[in-house]
Amino acid sequence: MGSRYQTVALGVIFVISLAGCMGVFPDSEPEAETTLSGVHTETQAGTVNIVFNDTVASDYAATVTIESPNGMNIREHSHSGDDGITRIAIPQASAGDYTLQLIKNNQTIDTKTITLTSADLGLTVTANWDASTLSQIFVAVQNTGDLPTTASVAVSKGASTLYTTPSQTARGGRQTIFLIDPSDGLYTVNNSGPAKFSIMVSTANNTITKTLTHTIRPASVEITSVTPTWQTTVLKDLSYTVSNTGDLPATLDGSVIVAGDKAVEITDLALDAGETTTISTAERATTGSGTLYRADTGAIETRVRLGYNTTTVSASNTSTVVSTSADLEQVQTQWRSTNEDDIGLSDIGFTLQTGASSVSYNTLRIETGNQTVLSEGLDSGTILPNVDVERSYYVGGYSQIELPPGEHELIVSLCDDDELVLEQTVSVTAEPS
């Protein structure tokens, strides 16, 4: 028995010893792997950096070498065992393959290759227009290569260079923005149709050109409203609204047509591109009488007709015009000598015949040509319907009307504040009393 147990025990000891020799029961952790990873490039301040993550066993130092495309060892980096990201600058980097070697104990543990590509530029152009003026240009330069380059942008029209930007560094894998924004705009186009510009991105090695095309719309004028102002049968004002939806300005000429008759000339009406404005015809009229037209009663069409370039536009408004319910009869005037050629109106008298409505007024206006007598602050009281009332007024002290002796027509108006009560043209004889 004892001999057999001894034999078994010796066999167990032998197996354990053998297992230990064979490494079945290791007495320590395996050594950490030593590698290169995450190799890429980035550009900082115009210089290309090769970036990598080097993992090195903590009990050994290691060296990373970088070999250029021509086989020269250009950089070397020592690592003492801590994991981390390393950036190594490559001055005057060129296109081609760069080889990284991780060396440990004079042995190459890991090798990585990275290829640097030349700068490769593309451009996107965005333009902003103010009517026919090219006001702003954004040029986005995209460098899809690895290496940086310097670039500038020039804008030209035909053989003329309009603008050149300062140079900027176009970094690899990045977009660089050039803003062209002169304070008074870059260029104003004076003719309709396509306008073409060349956008050129220049580098040390080449030039990239892109054509910018924009269509300039001609002036396009529309009359959007016509509003006559009638006082009984007298057209006192006409306002109209015009719009130019084109890209070019327009100079308008035309006329106001009332009941088929040309009443007012319209000349040199300037309308900028994109402008909408309302014009008062009375303000532009040169008659000085305050009256644009005298019409019969009934439906009266007032039309505005405007021409520009070879285009004519028009719009109209039809109003129902009614006459006053009063008349002036037996108009008499007195005149006095003012100089050797003319005599001045001093007094006027008339019979006011009312119709179906009562009448009151506080202003008397007398007009002829460009001369006007205005007598305000009158108190007519309320004149009842269907009566005849005699009135006379001294007018010699109010901007006196002076005419040569003979037959003349006077426009006599009675107003109640701003409302016209009666306006009538009468024939008189100017003769010194």
Residue among 180, 141, 187, 185 at smallest CA distance from 164: 180
Number of helices (H), then strands (E), belonging to the chain: the values are: 2, 32
Which residues neighbour 28 within 8 Å (Cβ) at sequence distance 6 or greater? Answer: none
Residue among 424, 420, 425, 414 at smallest CA distance from 380: 414
Higher pLDDT, 76 or 348: 348
Provide φ and ψ at 21, rounded to 5°.
-65, -35
Higher pLDDT, 370 or 405: 405
Q: Does residue 12 surpass a pLDDT of 50?
A: no
**CA distances to 2, 41, 79, 113 from 84, in Å:** 64, 16, 10, 19
Task: Spell out the CATH class of 221-321.
Answer: mainly beta
Take residue 287 and report the two structure tokens written for it.
Answer: 């008659």
Digit-coded pLDDT (tens) for 171-199 = 888 899 999 999 999 999 999 999 999 99
Fold of 326-430: Immunoglobulin-like (2.60.40)
Asked whether 244 and 273 are in contact (CB, 8 A), the reply is yes
Cα(187)–Cα(165) distance, integer angstroms: 16
Residues paired with 155 in a beta bridge: 163, 199
Asked whether 81 and 102 are in contact (CB, 8 A), the reply is no
Q: Does residue 331 surpass a pLDDT of 70?
A: yes
Cα(13)–Cα(19) distance, integer angstroms: 10
Within this chain, domains 35-116 and 121-216 share the same CATH topology: yes
Which residues neighbour 20 within 8 Å (Cβ) at sequence distance 6 or greater? Answer: none
Owner of token pair 């008189």: 428
Provide the whole-model pTM.
0.65
Confidence category of residue 400, pLDDT binned at 50, 70, 90? confident
CATH number of 35-116: 2.60.40.1930
Domain range annotation of the chain = 35-116, 121-216, 221-321, 326-430
Task: Spell out the CATH class of 121-216.
Answer: mainly beta
Helix (H) or strand (E) holding 17: helix 2-22
Return the amino acid letter for 73.
N
Owner of token pair 């003492």: 80
